[in-house]
Structure 1
């Protein structure tokens, strides 16, 4: 059973949490069956002409050979690289267990149905969701002279332990066979799925630009549907069936559902472009500057930052 641990890479505590999960999995299925990004791509010491692209290629190769994925997602700002990897895995029929210790739930309107994650796509595609939102119980009896801070730390660590153990159990209990057989029937005319960003500056302008060039446009349904989870699956199918995906990736990170659709479309061979008019760049040792998470940057074939660039891409 080959298992991929998808996690946020950029802070030590995130990497440590993922390593703890990988160690528990390795004890059950063998260390050679568990892939831990950053650790197993040797990121700190890897030397390549274009390091970010090479890291993307290594991860993509691994994503194509999985039996299962476990993804660590915490809080309202979900890592766009992890969400892209979830979409890629789902489009390949790989079951995905999502683990969260977030104590909040989310809704798309004040009275709408509560969701486990800010974008219903995550909930829609997950084979299992392991959610442990409450702190562990206070120690009984309380250790003598324990400070309230030490006790609070202990309760948080207990919560994490419970979550990791539950994720391992969920992975070992996954059903056999592929998940989410997404239709890929082409439309009868040139089609493009347009995914806007709530942080974007163009509003409906992207869709109008596509229609002006003769494309049939499909827009997401999940944000306004009475059943956002069911509508999210329709969005996934539509994005994978389109001839092109045009995604506005503006924001502090690529919006999570957008990142997931980019991953799924990339796995299915859909031509994908990212609209990002105001990029900020990230820098890491030995790596070229990236204008977005490298999984987003290299999954998309073009970075478009003006209406003219969008029109040029649509004409190719």
Structure 2
């Protein structure tokens, strides 16, 4: 049965391999048999960039070009700009009255992000209420399926809590609960092996990376620090090179053979990195070239975003009307 899919990315920089393996590939596959909406989340990008808004505004078309370059088709997937959908901000305000501050502070995803960004006591209110805004995004499109990484599962849980509260206020089901759709690959670690791949941590390989950038990133990838000589047996666990081979190399039998050889001894890191680099160069070259062509046609990108957003306005306003009706706030229709 077809689903209504809602997904998106913060417009804080070009997308990277973590996005690609985490959800972009899924979106390309899902668009043929489902009603799919994709948000370029510029408003949510401001939650930790409010004093540096150009970081968001200058990346809106970068993110859109990444979407198109990997195969998301605007004739099959509706691509919207979050800040151009007024219903989302209004829904966020209504939902905020149903969620306590302590509940937001208990959200594991928010707690982890606050720690990683080292906000201390200076947490922007918009960042703390990020789960409410995300709930508004999902429910405004009546999405019943959301592609996410496992780190986003608490966000889905909180969205469904809000859905149930709104439905209780309305006395009937006006919003639908959503289910997470996890990718087959766990979160992709950064090239340094210390944390997840992230633009802000500087350990990400973007979809538009040049040949030299790919080569340099693979060269510095974390492997097994105890694998000092080619003849030494090596460890696969925590070895970023093999994690990336599992995620991206099309020949699973070859990768399994490399693992066996590496663990036995006699296979050097440079050889394994060479195989990974060749794989990534081949995979990213056409994406990079398509991305460059799309970015060169700004008018076309604006048109795609305008058309998709216009459709999104109609969809989200319909949901907003129902929620306002539940709160008894449709006096001036």
Q: Taking structure 2 as the reference length, what is the TM-score of the superposition?
A: 0.29
For CA contacts below 8 A with separation 6 or more, give which structure has more relative contact order.
2
Give 1 or 2 for the bigger CA radius of gyration: 2
1 or 2, which has the higher strand percentage? 1
1 or 2, which has the higher helix percentage? 2
Q: Taking structure 1 as the reference length, what is the TM-score of the superposition?
A: 0.30
